[in-house]
Structure 1
Amino acid sequence: MRSQREELELLIEAARGAAEIAMSYFGRSPEVWMKAGHSPVSEADYAVDRYLKSVLLAARPGYGWVSEESEQPRTGNIEDAQSRFFVVDPIDGTRAYLRGEATWCVSLALVSKGRPVAGVIHAPALSEVFLATEEGAATCNGRPIEVGQRWGEGAGEALSVAMPDQLRGRFERLDPPLRDAVTPAKAVPSLAYRLALVADGRLDATLIRPRCNDWDIAAGDLILKRAGGRLVDTNGQDILYSESPNRHGVLIAASEASQGLAMRLAEGLAPITR
């Protein structure tokens, strides 16, 4: 079996090529269609997806494939020690991409036994590349990164927490001790990039509304973990991934120091249902 470093190098090269393709369409009004659920997909998404599938499966023909823009993948078994599969979002943050904003990325992860073992988040319009393996440190452009160490109440400075805009009104109605311990930060459309911001300490935490998919979070999950944080559900459990991709409930991403307060915030804003 290949080392995690070898797997990461493959993801890095694939993400670099994917970023070049995505940038060739960026700001040039690519053709757009609406998927079920009224989310946009562009010819750039499809072009990047085709490239990644070709390159990654040619290099690892025995591996499985899960991508937002591909047909339903074959079913995998997270208990199978030999089961490895790619989890890919060709352009995460398509709405931002189509608006000409920079906060979108190519998000690639390799999963083994239900958990990511290598991950890359490449944000080419920002010239940022976040990397991690299960055994190594998380980095941004080669610089080691780590989550912030603030924990909120009594810490002298409020936690910066990205949350969906639809929750702002509900947040303002929270009791003062909890409300005053948090400063709402604007949530960027790309969940992968938002997780990278938490990993890099630029955000203390983010709340993720229900119905996000594996490809939105797999790479960011690993990068955040290796930077000292965690992505968990409302029961505090880690996320498991399979070749039959999941849609998740409310998720909380935070440093270990701020996890408790972020969990309380999610409870205070419940139900976060839409």
Structure 2
Amino acid sequence: MLATDLPLLIDAALEAGKIATRYSGTEAQRWDKPDGAGPVTEADLAVNAMLEQRLPSARPGYGWLSEETEDSSDRLSRDSTFIIDPIDGTRSFAEGARTWAHSLAVADHGEVTAAVIYLPMRDLLYVAAKGQGAMLNGQPIKASRLSGLSEAEILAARPNLEAHHWRQGQAPAFGRAYRPSLAYRMALVAQGRFDGMLTLRSSWEWDIAAGDLIIREAGGVCSDRTGQPLKFNNAHPQLNGVIAAGAEIHSQLSEQLDPDGPGIGK
């Protein structure tokens, strides 16, 4: 089914956009999850309900991992698994902003093989399938080929620049920017709008699975904070941070980061 997973994800993402945009973010009912896990809105749950009905029914042999569904070990016995964030950037959604995304991926034996990141309020549809390249709104995209880190624009939250994360006791010089959706940050790197992104905290798989493939298919490199390739559908679905960039910038960031530095909020 791998050849047809991408069209399935695209159709589901477009439907997710229709559902989410029926809600006014500032007026949508909102709750805070236990243990400081962040907010959830009725839009997140409505999108999740549609996706959980639609996708597994189309691929009954696939596992299911979603931010808004209680996890089950059943997915660990499946060769392929859907990895879903119904709305990445829920805080932005709840504030009525436009920078939030639907993030949908399929992982096969731990490797993402089909991926979609869709921002309906910005009319941006990023897609990739393994070996077929990455596209934005039907046009091919490529990651930055910049070679000088000092000239780079890197998407990162400010705490990532704290001295204890870096081998030399200080962050290297580069331009810093920020976007609230982690999936969107990764898509922007794949697009070449920014030269790289990093988050040094333990990161949930559903935030980064789709972006991992889209970046790699755009010619970039995506790894955890120690430089190791990302593997998905783990028993505990968190990964050790993310570094994503073109090959030269990724190498320079990896070399200067302290792989044993403490985790931080994203």
- Counterpart amino acid of 1:137? G
Conserved 8 A contact 1:152-1:159: yes
Cα deviations across residues 141-197 of structure 1 (Å, max 9, x unaligned)?
A: 0110000111225xxx611111112345649x99799633x11112x1211111000
Q: Secondary structure at the match of 1:189?
A: coil
Cα deviations across residues 41-81 of structure 1 (Å, max 9, x unaligned)?
A: 0010000000001011111122111000001123444xx7x
Conserved 8 A contact 1:170-1:269: no
TM-superposed CA distance for 1:248, in Å, is 1.9
Cα deviations across residues 186-229 of structure 1 (Å, max 9, x unaligned)?
A: 2x121111100000011111111312101000010000000011
- Of 5, 9, 32, 1:11 maps to 9
Q: Secondary structure at the match of 2:258?
A: helix
List aligned pairs for 1:1-274, cutoff 5 A.
2-4=1-3, 6-38=4-36, 39-77=38-76, 83-153=79-149, 158-168=151-161, 170=163, 179-180=172-173, 182-186=174-178, 188-242=179-233, 244-267=235-258, 270-274=261-265
Structure 2 gap ranges (5+): none
Conserved 8 A contact 2:105-2:209: yes
Cα deviations across residues 6-28 of structure 1 (Å, max 9, x unaligned)?
A: 11111010101011101111335
TM-superposed CA distance for 1:96, in Å, is 1.0
TM-superposed CA distance for 1:265, in Å, is 4.6
- Equivalents in 2 of 1:40, 1:71: separation in Å? 16
- Equivalents in 1 of 2:85, 2:224: separation in Å? 21
Conserved 8 A contact 2:104-2:210: yes
- Equivalents in 2 of 1:268, 1:112: separation in Å? 27
- Counterpart amino acid of 1:33? W
- Equivalents in 2 of 1:63, 1:75: separation in Å? 10
Comparing 201-210 with 139-148, which one deviates more in the overlay?
201-210
Comparing 239-248 with 162-171, which one deviates more in the overlay?
162-171
TM-superposed CA distance for 1:271, in Å, is 3.6
- Equivalents in 1 of 2:171, 2:40: separation in Å? 38
- Counterpart amino acid of 2:29? E
CA gap of 1:241–1:176, structure 2 versus 1, over 3 A, is closer
Conserved 8 A contact 2:83-2:106: yes
Conserved 8 A contact 2:160-2:200: no
Comparing 246-255 with 193-202, which one deviates more in the overlay?
246-255
- Equivalents in 2 of 1:178, 1:209: separation in Å? 13
CA gap of 1:143–1:98, structure 2 versus 1, over 3 A, is same
Q: How many residues align?
A: 263
CA gap of 1:198–1:192, structure 2 versus 1, over 3 A, is same
Structure 1 gap ranges (5+): none
Q: Secondary structure at the match of 1:117?
A: strand
- Equivalents in 2 of 1:16, 1:243: separation in Å? 28
- Equivalents in 1 of 2:241, 2:7: separation in Å? 32
TM-score (norm 1): 0.88
Root mean square deviation of aligned Cα: 2.4
- Counterpart amino acid of 2:49? R
- Counterpart amino acid of 2:121? A
